[in-house]
Amino acid sequence: MSHHKKRRYTGKVPHPLAAGHARILEVAVEAGRRAGRKAAKKKLKRAARHGGLQLSKALRESVLRDAEKAGGRAAHAAAAKAIRKAGHRIAVPADLHPSTGTPLAPGPIHEPAPVPRRRMPGSQVVMEVLRVERPSRSMVRIVAGGEGFDDFESNGAADQYVKLYFANPALGLLPPYDMRALRKTLRREDFPVSRSYTIRRHDPVARELAIEFFIHDPAGPASGWAAAAQPGDQLVLSRPKGKFRPDPKAEQHLYAGDDAGIPAIAAALEMLPRTASGRVFLEVEGPEDEQEFDLPLHMELTWLHRNGEPAAVSSLLPNALRDTPAPHGSVEVLALGGRNAVRDIRKLASHWDIEQRRVHVSSYWTARRPGRTWPVTSANGGHLEAGQRTGGTAD
Domain range annotation of the chain: 21-110, 121-242+377-385, 252-365
Q: Kindly report whether the global pTM for this prediction surpasses the value 0.75.
A: no
Distance of CA 132 to the CA centre of its chain: 16
What confidence score (pLDDT) does residue 84 get?
A: 67
Provide the mean pLDDT of the chain. 80
The domain made up of 252-365 is a member of CATH 3.65.10.10: no
What confidence score (pLDDT) does residue 296 get?
A: 95
Per-residue pLDDT of the chain (395 residues; tens, 9 = 90+): 444 444 443 433 344 434 466 667 777 888 888 888 888 888 777 777 766 677 777 777 878 888 888 887 888 777 777 776 665 444 434 444 443 344 444 444 444 444 444 444 458 999 999 999 999 999 999 999 999 999 999 999 999 999 999 999 889 999 999 988 999 999 989 999 999 999 999 999 999 999 999 988 777 889 999 999 999 999 999 999 999 999 999 999 999 999 999 999 999 999 999 999 999 999 999 999 999 988 999 999 999 999 999 999 999 999 999 999 999 999 999 999 999 999 999 999 999 999 999 999 999 988 765 544 444 333 333 222 222 223 334 44
Query: Cα–Cα distance between 109 and 111 in angstroms, integer?
Result: 7
Identify the DSSP state of 71.
Answer: H
Strand partners for 377: 383
Q: How many CA atoms lie within 13 A of 280 on its CB side?
A: 26
Closest CA to 201 of 126, 285, 131: 131
Q: Which fold has domain 121-242+377-385?
A: Elongation Factor Tu (Ef-tu); domain 3 (2.40.30)
CA distances from 189 to 167, 169, 197, 375 (A): 10, 13, 22, 14
Q: For residue 176, is the peptide bond before it cis, meaning its omega torsion is within 30 degrees of 0?
A: yes
347 contacts: CB under 8 Å, gap ≥ 6 = none
What confidence score (pLDDT) does residue 340 get?
A: 94
DSSP string, 205-228: TTTEEEEEEE--SS--HHHHHHHH
Angle in degrees, 0-180, between the axes of helices 21-50 and 57-86, rounded to the nearest 10: 140
Q: Which helix (H) or strand (E) holds 316?
A: helix 316-322
Query: Cα–Cα distance between 376 and 392 in angstroms, integer?
Result: 19
Strand pairing category for 375-377 and 383-385: antiparallel
What confidence score (pLDDT) does residue 51 get?
A: 63
What confidence score (pLDDT) does residue 376 get?
A: 39
Closest CA to 245 of 227, 269, 281: 269
